[in-house]
Structure 1
Amino acid sequence: MEFRELSIPGAWEITPRLFTDKRGTFLEWFKQDQFEQATGNKLDLAQANCSISAEGTLRGIHFADVPPGQAKYVTCVSGAVLDVIVDIRTGSPTFGQWDSVYLDDMSRRAVFLDVGLGHGFFALSEQATVVYLCSSGYNPDAEHGINPLDPDIGITWPHIGHTGRPLTPVLSQKDQDAPSLAEAQRLGILPTYQA
């Protein structure tokens, strides 16, 4: 496995080694010892999620209260997505910045994002299946969102999908109604860099 730290501290791109022959492909998409050695983090598994999205679906930017927060190890097992990590930690030197990784069923890359970071993804194929390992379970009272179309964050979402059709983001009502980053900061719901 190759690990590359993204421009947001606490976020990593993981590229597995693929073993391919006429039967197909085998890979290890997570190995705790290599993960700990490369990132300095231990991922305590509390929940595993699977999200199936139609082309143009935009999910996020989601985050959980810290503590305990929710670290995520994410990959796309079918189709393709643009996975985005946003630094929403007040006091962070990269506060408000974002980075992205293209995840698909060919490269089999994964991303890790530590607690306190915001996460979202955009489905680029007709159907995309994303699975992620989480360090804590879902707690609806501690879950928050930031509008993924917030112009102050300025995420460059793709305009054309794999089918060649123009993409118009499809958001849940909850994500549409989510506050901007500035509003979330005023509301005091953002994690701090120190936490």
Structure 2
Amino acid sequence: MASDNALPSPVQLIRPRRFGDARGWFTEVYSVPAFAASGIECTFVQDNHSLSAPAFTLRGLHFQTPPRGQDKLVRCIRGRIYDVAVDVRRGSPTYGQWVGAELSAENGHQLFIPIGFAHGFVTLEPDCEVTYKCSDTYAPSSDGGIRWDSVGIDWPIPAGATPELSDKDKVQLTLAEFDSPFDYDGRPLTPLA
């Protein structure tokens, strides 16, 4: 949580509490009041669910441009992924910088990625399932991305392994070629807490 004088970090790692007993566990993964208390006040209107069969499948780095930008709340419900957000807001002092975290079915962590950040992940084992909430519906005319290997992300891919990529992700613009339509909102990217 941010102090009263500081704006919350734009990208946030969320660790929902789990309440367990002999039957298993229960967790609240999304609550409007709890998220608002952390500075997350978007309205989610679409849920997505992906399955990536091979280990080291890499999806990203994706975003939707204005006026159809998407805030995302990402979680892994089967397997493990390394999830990344890259600051692509023009004028940001942290433009091109990134943060990442391991999300897994076991740890239950989630990553909130606001508009103005490119998002991607790599699967760390076979048969990973990822769900994410979005604050706008899919708009093909606003679909965008940058190349996964143009930002200097330290992807946890073993030496000699080649990630599985979609045809679209193989030909995205590099960060250097990208002309960002996103504006800086005064909140620099900070390390994940």
Whether the 8 Å CA contact 1:158–1:167 is kept in 2: the answer is no
Local SS of the residue matching 1:60: strand
- Bigger fraction of residues in helix: 1
Residue 104 (structure 2) pairs with residue 94 (structure 1): no
In the aligned structure 1, how far is the partner of 2:117 from the partner of 2:155?
18
Residue 171 (structure 2) pairs with residue 172 (structure 1): no
In the aligned structure 2, how far is the partner of 1:126 from the partner of 1:30?
27
Residue 105 (structure 2) pairs with residue 105 (structure 1): yes
Residue 144 (structure 2) pairs with residue 118 (structure 1): no
How many Å apart are 1:9 and its aligned residue? 4.1
The correspondence for 2:176, drawn from 182, 185, 189, is 182
In the aligned structure 2, how far is the partner of 1:101 from the partner of 1:74?
11
In the other structure, the counterpart of 1:77 is: 77
In the other structure, the counterpart of 1:34 is: 34
Local SS of the residue matching 1:82: strand
Whether the 8 Å CA contact 2:86–2:118 is kept in 1: the answer is yes
What is the TM-score with the length of structure 2 in the denominator? Answer: 0.87
In the other structure, the counterpart of 2:154 is: 156
Q: Residue type of the partner of 1:27?
A: T
Local SS of the residue matching 1:67: coil
The 3 A distance-change label for structure 1 pair 85 and 58 is same
In the aligned structure 2, how far is the partner of 1:182 from the partner of 1:159?
23
In the aligned structure 2, how far is the partner of 1:127 from the partner of 1:43?
30
Local SS of the residue matching 1:183: coil
In the other structure, the counterpart of 1:50 is: 49
In the aligned structure 2, how far is the partner of 1:126 from the partner of 1:166?
18
In the aligned structure 1, how far is the partner of 2:28 from the partner of 2:171?
38
In the aligned structure 1, how far is the partner of 2:138 from the partner of 2:157?
31
Whether the 8 Å CA contact 1:79–1:126 is kept in 2: the answer is yes
1:47-72 Cα deviation digits (max 9, x unpaired): 10001112111000001112241000
Could you list the runs of 5+ residues in structure 2 that have no partner in the other structure?
Answer: 3-7, 187-193
Q: Which runs of 4+ in 1 moved over 3 A?
A: none
The 3 A distance-change label for structure 1 pair 167 and 33 is farther
The 3 A distance-change label for structure 1 pair 91 and 34 is same
By relative contact order (CA 8 Å, sep 6+), the higher-ranking structure is: 2
In the other structure, the counterpart of 2:64 is: 64
Whether the 8 Å CA contact 1:74–1:112 is kept in 2: the answer is yes
How many Å apart are 1:101 and its aligned residue? 1.0
Could you list the runs of 5+ residues in structure 1 that have no partner in the other structure?
Answer: none
RMSD of equivalent CA atoms:
2.0
Local SS of the residue matching 2:90: coil
